[in-house]
Chain A
Amino acid sequence: MAEALARISQVQDWGMIQIRADLERAGDAIAGAAGLTVPGRGRVTSDGSRKLGWMSPDELLLVLPLSEMAGTLTALRDALSTEHALVLDVSDMRAVFRIHGARARQVLMKLCPTDLSSMPEDGLRRTRAAQVACGIWREPEGYVLIGFRSVADYLRNLLTTAAAPGTQLDPR
């Protein structure tokens, strides 16, 4: 039996904070409280344990260890108290999958209408995986895909099917 195109695993222990604000005005305050520089359009900044992703011109997503959630929420809210801003714990509404392996990109090529080869190393791309919305960024071993919690089973099945052994996209 051939090998699967990639290893699919679900991440359960990430905290996530949604930040909506005028990033021009509030960028420094966010960076200070989040401990990361504010990413440019379509990018992610990272310090190893945390990631700060650009979701839209007025929205960021901070990914961090669950243990740091409460403190960081407070820090962000304090830092943005004088701004028109929204800081929300959205840790529970997401399903996160890792797609790791040499052919991880091929798995996503079957599901996302996105030119993955043009995505920069530190890129964050929001798109769809088959019929549901998702966001994608890279890791050294492959990709991370985040979607909504209610469709976690769908996403897992989708990714596993796309990674099925023997289905590599290499020319035959």
Chain B
Amino acid sequence: MTETGPFRLPRGGRLIDRAYPLPFRFDGRQMRGVAGDTIASALLANGQLMMGRSFKYHRPRGPIASGVEEPNALLGLGQAGRFEPNQRATTTPLIGGMVTTSQNCWPSLNADIGAVNNWLYRFFPAGFYYKTFIHPRAFWKHVFEPVIRRSAGLGKAPTEADPDKYEQAYAHVDVVVVGGGIAGLAAARDAAREGKSVWLVEQTPHFGGRTPTDHADGQSHVDALVAELQGMQNVTLRRSTQATGLYDHGYLLARESLADHDPNAGIPRQRLWRIRAGHVIVATGALERPLSFAGNDVPGVMLASAVRDYINDYGVAPGRRIVVVANNDDAYRTALVALEAGLEVPAVIDARNSVEGALPAAVRARGVRVLTGSAIAGIKGGHSVEAVKICAHSGSGDVTETVDADCVAMSGGWSPVVHLWSHCGGKLNWDDAQAMFAPDPNRPPTGADGKAMASCAGAAAGDLLVAGLTGAQAEAAIMPVWVMPQQATRKMKFKMWLDFQNDVKVSDVELAAQEGYHSVEHTKRYTTLGMATDQGKVSNINGLAVLSNALNQPIPATGTTTFRPPYTPLTLGTIAAEARGELFQPLRKTPMHGWHEARSAFFEPVGHWRRPYCYPKAGESHADAVAREVRAVRASVGTLDASTLGKIIVKGPDAGKFLDMIYTGMMSTLPVGKCRYGLICNENGFLIDDGVAARLSEDTWLVHTTTGGAERIHGHMEDWLQCEWWDWKVWTANVTEQWAQIAVVGPKARVLLERLGGMDLSAEALPFMGWAEGEIAGIPARVYRISFSGELSFEVAVPANRGLELWEKLHEAGKDLSVTPYGTEAMHIMRAEKGFIMIGDETDGTVIPQDLGLGWAVSKKKADFIGKRAQERSHMTDPERWKLVGLESVDGRVLPDGVYAVDEGVNANGQRKTQGRVTSTYMSPTLNRPIAMGLVRHGPDRMGEVLEFPVAGQESYKARIVDPVFYDKEGSRANG
């Protein structure tokens, strides 16, 4: 028996199996629990009452609850990447070999230096930080902030990656019942009998909720219901599954624990269910409230329900002499359970003057003193309860009697768990008789059909006894007690905790009210009441009642703060689920991707695509590789994987008319067999894409987009076709991935392609800006004679499944030509050498074609095109707009990307005025000097002027405005 701790009772514990002892460590000490224990029950069994220290004052704290509402017993679990802070000891099942550590204390739990805050409590009232650290300002950065940062925060964040796996799953269910207590089980049965598909999710590993502990024959009632549900085909029961939030249109999130802290299971640790529920039945029960008396946070003071849970569920004695303090009949159950377990109950302290119910009678019959009209004036003891000081509840705390005790079981009444009901807009009513907020069935959260998407059952609905199912007898009325005793002194209120985790006391809330914080939402933020990891599950109602009293208004006039998901904290891993590592996001790969990888290509992301940036050889830097690739293309021939370019088929009798609207230029006049460069703007007039369109037949065009633009431009086209010109006869199809596309570029491009045999690629058969169809190396191909480098260039499109074959044949056949694969950076440099713009470099969503010297590609004859009207707006025709120019570095240094050219004078903020910026900048391997492009005010009219580009910590860069075409101005090289 003592093997599992000195406080383990000789009998009892409905949830534990004494046959399986489990060793574990707490702050380095070896301890033992048994199978079925939570960490809290195991620690209590070992006599370890103190499980942590509070956030602000570092007060010693033990558990006050036995479930998810626990504010104090938060531990760090695990080691290294599996370390998790702030885990509730009361809900975490004990696993053999577990390593647990206390938080918020240094150097140790028993001798915590931060506890000095505790002696200074008078100097740390609500709003302390706001008031104190305003002046002097310089002190904040150098003194206050570093000190506060070191001492603040609950627990420590792990620094290593989480090694566990997580997953998500979707479910579509007619009715989801949240809560596997007796009301939830019955609601599930009723819904299932109507033939609906039903899920029941229960946060703990056990069905039944409080019923087995609190009601005679409770377990057998529960067992019967569970057995019936298990026999129903349309019912799914999930235990250890926490519903964390209810969102719009019946979207319910629930976390299922699969292998929590059992890393050897090899399966996901948790699964996040994304459930679409036709209806949600909230059967989440109720939570007991603490009483606000001086010293209510001393370890050993617990909720009455928790005390009987530890005894009944785990066979653990939270103390040997238990004083019960209450304002209701329910708490007397704790006295009976304690007596049954052979523990002493020296007294029950009841604030009510008249106590005549059946439960109190049963307690009296066991010879226990019931002190009516009484209250607790204070607790003797610091790290644990030694004695209870008793006073009259109506008075101001004059001690009438002191009773030795090592545990106090308190009950201030019960609050329905209305979180899910409230998450999506369900409203509450104040129930005066039961002193609680309960759901208003007439104001439910509504779904897509405007009808209630949730309802409440059992204690969550305000029916605390659920007598219809439990057979419980009626109990005498509760007497609301928000401060104990009624006339408590200010000094006593400094020791009455409301929010245990954030150290918010009755005195803090009263101070906030006094300072004008009349809104409960403001008081919450000023005092931090309910803002800790427990989200105020045990503190909120007490806190707003104290606020109401201080403001001298009824509780419903104060209202509640907003209930926000998640109900209990969600590990980020469950939200990311499979989307990490390799699966973080879809990587799009071209048919030649494997070849690039095998050549150690350095990839860059372009949208979700991975494109080779360059192909460095052994020992070669990226810059050297890029320079080598550029020179090889300009000298002989290179190949670029251009498969990622968007390819959209546009077909139909109205296709030409449609493309004339999509492009700024004219596409309807393009002859079959020809290609034309075009610009696409949005309705705001700004450039969004560019590329070459080819006319494939009388009624069919192929539109090339940028790599990132295929889906976007296809969507843009479909939007206009479906929503504006829906009577035009045009079909579009995004066939980007049907084709592998290879740009064969350089003076030897034709020589290389002709070696593979097939179609006629001569200048006569296939002139510049033409396209032709045929075969190359026996592969069906479409060849476009277009150039983005200024060199002789053929873009060869073949079916994707044959792209690698063609690529390999090109490299085999071109060995003696030193055919060189080149990447996106070489492509970028070569286009910049030619002064070609790049969407995303020269454009940023605010640039129009006219800014880039592309007015020639904007039709002046067309009556309309998308963006035309916008380009007529005064701002767009303003001569002050920055325009594209070339920039030539004066001192030979490469200009940094994105730097601004300064102008004379300063703006209203005292900053230098600007007159331009760099949009593309490279070291040109062809010219052996830096080149750049930029947008400059009146740029094209200022050739030869030198601009200054200041850069912090460096000598200003200077560059001369020049023509943006740096290489082959006459354009002869494209003809080979």
Q: B-contacting residues of A (Cβ < 8 Å)?
A: 18, 20, 58, 84-86, 88-94, 106, 109-110, 112-115, 117-118, 130-132, 148-154, 157-158, 161-162, 164, 166-167, 169, 171-172
Contact = CB atoms under 8 A, between A and B. Distances in A.
A132 B458 CA distance: 43
B651 interface: yes
A139 B901 CA distance: 64
The 6 A-B pairs of least Cβ separation, nearest first, read A150-B588, A93-B737, A115-B172, A92-B800, A86-B731, A93-B738
B809 to A, nearest CB: 18
A151 B169 contact: no
A90 B738 contact: yes
Contact of A109 (B171, B731, B738): B171
A130 B800 CA distance: 25
A166 B266 contact: yes
Contacts of B586: 130-132, 151, 154
Contacts of A154: 583, 586-587
B731 A149 contact: no
Contact of B735 (A88, A113, A162): A88
B778 interface: no
Interface in B266-285: 266-268, 271, 274, 276
Interface string B578-600: 11001101111111000000000
B588 A110 contact: no
A164 B267 contact: yes
Contacts of B168: 110
12 contacts: A20-B731, A58-B731, A84-B653, A88-B738, A90-B733, A106-B169, A109-B171, A110-B167, A131-B579, A162-B578, A167-B267, A171-B237
Interface in B209-244: 236-240
B782 to A, nearest CB: 13
Nearest to A131: B586
B652 interface: yes
Contacts of A58: 731
B693 interface: no
Contacts of B739: 92
Given A92-B738, A162-B578, A171-B236, A150 B167 contact: no
Given A130-B579, A150-B609, A90 B735 contact: yes
Q: Which of B172, B265, B736 has the most CB of A within 10 A?
A: B172
A106 B171 CA distance: 10
B737 A149 contact: yes
Given A84-B653, A110-B169, A89 B582 contact: no
Contacts of B578: 110, 130, 158, 161-162
B487 interface: no
Interface of B: prevailing SS:
mixed
B239 A166 contact: no
Contacts of A115: 172, 276
A92 to B, nearest CB: 4
B258 A172 contact: yes
Given A86-B651, A88-B733, A171-B236, A153 B583 contact: no
Contacts of B119: none
Contacts of B651: 86
B366 interface: no
A161 B799 CA distance: 30
B172 A20 contact: no
A93 B167 contact: no
Given A90-B735, A150-B590, A130 B583 contact: yes
B110 interface: no
B276 A89 contact: no
A20 B583 contact: no
Interface string B661-703: 0000000000000000000000000000000000000000000
Contacts of B801: 91-92
Given A149-B591, A161-B578, 4 more contacts: A86-B649, A88-B735, A92-B801, A93-B737
Interface of B: 167-172, 236-240, 258, 265-268, 271, 274, 276, 578-579, 582-583, 585-591, 608-609, 649, 651-653, 729, 731, 733, 735-739, 799-801
Given A93-B800, A110-B169, A166-B265, A131 B733 contact: no
A109 B274 CA distance: 10
Contacts of B258: 172
A68 B647 CA distance: 25
A92 B799 contact: yes
Contacts of A84: 652-653, 729, 731
A131 B267 CA distance: 22
B731 A85 contact: yes
Contact of A86 (B170, B653, B733): B733
A63 B586 CA distance: 25
A88 B649 contact: yes
Given A92-B737, A131-B586, A162-B578, A113 B170 contact: yes
Query: Which one of A131, A149, A152, A162 has the highest number of Cβ atoms from chain B below 10 Å of its Cβ?
Result: A149
Nearest to B170: A113
Nearest to B738: A93
B167 A162 contact: yes
Contacts of B587: 151, 153-154
Contacts of A86: 649, 651-652, 731, 733
Contact of A157 (B267, B583, B589): B583
Of the listed residues A110, A158, A162, the one surrounded by the most CB atoms of chain B closer than 10 A to its CB is A110
Contact of B267 (A112, A132, A148, A166): A166
B460 to A, nearest CB: 23
Contacts of A91: 738, 799, 801
Contacts of A88: 649, 733, 735, 738
Contacts of A18: 733
Nearest to B236: A171
Contact of B274 (A113, A153, A167): A113
A109 B169 contact: yes
A84 B728 CA distance: 11
A18 B651 CA distance: 13
Given A109-B170, A172-B258, A151 B588 contact: yes
A22 to B, nearest CB: 9
Contacts of A167: 167, 267-268
A139 to B, nearest CB: 21
B719 to A, nearest CB: 15
A89 B799 CA distance: 10
A93 B736 CA distance: 8
Contacts of B591: 149
B238 A171 contact: yes
A82 to B, nearest CB: 12
Contacts of B738: 88-93
A93 B735 contact: yes
B465 to A, nearest CB: 30
A12 B274 CA distance: 33
Contacts of A132: 586
A150 to B, nearest CB: 4
Contacts of A94: 737
Contacts of A110: 167-170, 578
B913 to A, nearest CB: 44
Contacts of A161: 167, 578, 583
Contacts of A164: 267
A26 to B, nearest CB: 12
A63 to B, nearest CB: 15
Contacts of B582: 157
B237 A169 contact: no
Contacts of B652: 84, 86
B487 to A, nearest CB: 54
Contacts of B237: 171
> Most B CB atoms within 10 A — which of A91, A113, A115, A161?
A161
A105 B267 CA distance: 19
Contacts of A131: 579, 585-586
A166 B268 CA distance: 9
Contacts of A85: 731
Nearest to A117: B172
